[in-house]
Structure 1
Amino acid sequence: MSDTSFDMIVIGAGPGGYVAAIRGAQLGLSVACIERAHLGGICLNWGCIPTKAMLRSAEVLHLARCGQEFGLDIAPPKADLNAIVKRSRGVAKQLSDGIGFLFRKNKITTIMGEARLTGKGRVAVIGEDGEQVLQAKSIVVATGARARALPGLEADGKRVWTYKDALSPPHEPKKLLVIGSGAIGIEFASFYNSIGADVTVVEAMDRVLPVEDAEISGLAKKAFEKQGMTILEGAKVTRLDRGADEVTAHLETNEGSQTEVFDTVISAVGIVGNVEGLGLERLGVRIDRSHIMTDAHCRTGVDGVYAIGDVAGAPWLAHKASHEGVMVAELIAGQTPHPVKPETIAGCTYCSPQIASVGLTEAQAIEAGFDIRVGRFPFQGNGKAIALGEAQGLIKTVFDSKTDELLGAHMIGADVTELIQGYVIGQKLETTAQDLMETEFPHPTLSEMMHESVLHAFDRALHI
């Protein structure tokens, strides 16, 4: 096999692509991975990881401000945005460099450049040294996605930002408008609010965090407003008038048209798949609204071409991309992996308070025709939560009353992004309510609330 011929070529080194490449190499395949910018993709460099580093700084700042509540005499802390960003970028670099180490360890050929599919099993790459053509029986497209730009609301990197600008900001916002209350928008709203910005969030849907359970969304709104945010639901930004140091936003709200001046705007209105310039249509790969159409095993319908991660559609989550990468690599290596089921993948939002969920919401379960039992347990009934000073929150579970199947779980509160995996495993193992009720949860832990929520669904709660 020549140095331009491989068993598998992966286009994109994000959390889907680099994992696919590593798993393929583990299974004995010769693998090349092509990346145009940074190993680790958006997630490690401009998404999941650096945002969590910044949000951790906000969490520490909050705890320091609450020092007296814990019997500690701490001088009034203040945020240094430049230092926070520097730490965040350092964390991202460390992990990106780690991908390079893993590629060398697994003997994966790394090629930096722009890729284009030129024919069956052929990929042209334009890099610093010109163009080269690679060949492989199997090609995995893992090119990810980028921020959606609405007409008139496009980012300029100065006063109107994308998530990337917000991670390396040219100035510190004092009065901030966030357009969109999905995970990206609300995390940045939460961070900048915590370091002192006056934050307004505009959401076109009828409630903030619209993909979450309605009860959780309502609790989140109350928490955000208590922290000083302004939340405008069922509202739209129709125009932005940009000045040298301010932006005038034209808003349509339930109360009518209005204008308001901000010094910074973050546009977080969704993403579009990176499908341009790849030569996909010429090969017959189907694309729908910027996302590649695939089957349950991420096959595109064109022999030897697969698509994984954000470019292949919702849910737009790094862990979904990684598991698709493993599945496709195993499929290419001749194994028979189970398909990834989007409905069993947890969603996590790292705002304050944190939000996490898996499966059907209460409304979705009813709409699907289930006769349901719903359990709830508040953080204020849990000893560990009270000891932590984190007594605000809720764990909610939804069961099929006929089979005791766990249909969904929804949480808001401290560390729920860590707790949710317990329910994910339960669903994966087809655990029933009875199994969960008979499971011993350690004391004192936050996880005891997961137990109590199940007990409550069956009128057996002990601490409320």
Structure 2
Amino acid sequence: SGAIGIEFASFYNDMGAKVTVVEMLDRIVPVEDADVSDALAKSLGKQGIEILVGAGVESIVPDAKGLAATIKTADGKAAERRFSHCIVAVGIVPNTEKIGLEKLGVTMDRGFLKTDPMCRSNVKGLWAIGDITAPPWLAHKASHEGVIAAEAIAQELGNKDVHPHAMDAQNIPGCTYCHPQVASVGLTEAKAKEAGHEVRVGKFPAIGNGKAIALGEVEGFIKTVFDAKTGELLGAHMIGAEVTELIQGYTIGKTAELVETDFMQTVFPHPTLSEMMHESVLAAYGKVIHM
């Protein structure tokens, strides 16, 4: 039930198929903030998708009529169920075998190349980007790594007009194109606390936004997580209409190292969904207006 699994589940459900999602962990989209996971599970459940968490597929046996899957649910009971198709979405494997990396002495981790923030491997002259390096394994991350690597190589070759910058995985947004959409950047509330931050958390519901009401898309919310001492934006988490478009506003804020007052003092146009971004920041500091 990661991004790809949920995207396919949502798509096929919208097309009229009866869909069951099986997730071994205790919640769907487990890399997202727990509040987003809970909201998405409720929404998909209302749409008719069956979600089984804490469950596992024991076996899959195909036949002329489809397939028989034995599913062990959270209560420890296993039962056989019939399906027409099965989609397996359990991550990726890097295509790095038998291309000579071992002979070069490249430092690897389960097949992935270890690189520094400039995309250099430990072997001089060998650079790596994209899905053969550390996560997140996203197209936009890979594309940006290509820019960083090209500029860093040019700099090493003596080009003084390029100014490469280091990759920061915490500033890479993630998007899940299901219905409702999910988007996030930075640390979840739980991860921020685990990292030792004292946090201030703001949350604003779509039902309080005029544009969302006008669109008939009042499901969802925007949640922001700030460092209580410094005002640094640690993370932002969204679920709802067009949040995959909205997340870039917070991504720019994190990249520019903006603090809470920068967001508070920014004028957001009305009526737009982006006003929820403003309200979420205000809510983190007890200054929310339209709720």
TM-score, normalized by the shorter chain, greater than 0.5: yes
Give the superposition deviation at 1:311. 0.6
Look up the SS of the partner of 1:365 in the other structure.
helix
Q: Please point out which of 224, 242, 265 is paired with 1:415.
A: 242
Asked if 1:450 corresponds to 2:277, the answer is yes
Partner in structure 2 of residue 339 of structure 1 = 166
Partner in structure 2 of residue 404 of structure 1 = 231
Within 1, Cα distance between the matches of 2:215 and 2:44? 20
Q: Please point out which of 195, 212, 215 is paired with 2:15.
A: 195
Asked if 1:269 corresponds to 2:96, the answer is no
1:59-98 residue CA offsets vs partner (Å, 9 max, x unmatched): xxxxxxxxxxxxxxxxxxxxxxxxxxxxxxxxxxxxxxxx
Asked if 1:292 corresponds to 2:99, the answer is no
Give the superposition deviation at 1:313. 2.1
Asked if 1:373 corresponds to 2:194, the answer is no
Question: Partner letter of residue 301 of structure 1?
Answer: N
1:359-383 residue CA offsets vs partner (Å, 9 max, x unmatched): 1100011111111111000000000
Within 2, Cα distance between the matches of 1:254 and 1:343? 33
Query: Where does 1:241-390 land on structure 2 (aligned, <5 Å)?
Result: 241-255=61-75, 256-334=77-155, 335-390=162-217
Partner in structure 2 of residue 427 of structure 1 = 254
Within 2, Cα distance between the matches of 1:294 and 1:456? 39
1:270-314 residue CA offsets vs partner (Å, 9 max, x unmatched): 100010232111122222212112122211111111110011120
Look up the SS of the partner of 2:93 in the other structure.
strand
Partner in structure 2 of residue 99 of structure 1 = none
Asked if 1:208 corresponds to 2:28, the answer is yes
Query: Can you give the 5+ residue segments of structure 1 that lack an aligned partner in the other structure?
Result: 1-180
Number of equivalences: 284
Within 2, Cα distance between the matches of 1:382 and 1:435? 21
The farther-off stretch of 447-456 and 297-306 is: 297-306
1:329-356 residue CA offsets vs partner (Å, 9 max, x unmatched): 0011114411110111110000000000
Within 2, Cα distance between the matches of 1:252 and 1:339? 44
Within 2, Cα distance between the matches of 1:226 and 1:359? 29
Partner in structure 1 of residue 159 of structure 2 = none
Give the superposition deviation at 1:189. 0.4
Question: Partner letter of residue 242 of structure 2?
Answer: D
Partner in structure 1 of residue 158 of structure 2 = none
Partner in structure 2 of residue 186 of structure 1 = 6
Look up the SS of the partner of 1:305 in the other structure.
coil
Query: Where does 1:432-443 land on structure 2 (aligned, <5 Å)?
Result: 432-443=259-270
Within 2, Cα distance between the matches of 1:267 and 1:279? 30
Where do 4+ consecutive residues of structure 1 move more than 6 Å? none
Within 1, Cα distance between the matches of 2:234 and 2:123? 35
Give the strand-richer structure, 1 or 2: 1
Look up the SS of the partner of 2:70 in the other structure.
strand
Query: Where does 1:47-66 land on structure 2 (aligned, <5 Å)?
Result: none
Question: Partner letter of residue 11 of structure 2?
Answer: F
**What value does the CA root-mean-square deviation take over the aligned residues?**
0.9
Give the superposition deviation at 1:401. 0.9
Question: Partner letter of residue 287 of structure 1?
Answer: M
Q: Please point out which of 221, 224, 232 is paired with 1:394.
A: 221
Within 2, Cα distance between the matches of 1:336 and 1:442? 34
Query: Where does 1:63-102 land on structure 2 (aligned, <5 Å)?
Result: none
Q: Please point out which of 38, 45, 49 is paired with 1:229.
A: 49
Within 2, Cα distance between the matches of 1:393 and 1:412? 5
Within 2, Cα distance between the matches of 1:428 and 1:296? 15
Partner in structure 2 of residue 23 of structure 1 = none
Within 2, Cα distance between the matches of 1:421 and 1:336? 23
Query: Can you give the 5+ residue segments of structure 2 that lack an aligned partner in the other structure?
Result: 156-161
Within 1, Cα distance between the matches of 2:248 and 2:94? 28
Look up the SS of the partner of 2:235 in the other structure.
strand
Q: TM-score, length-normalised on structure 1?
A: 0.60
Question: Partner letter of residue 201 of structure 1?
Answer: V
Within 1, Cα distance between the matches of 2:61 and 2:53? 22
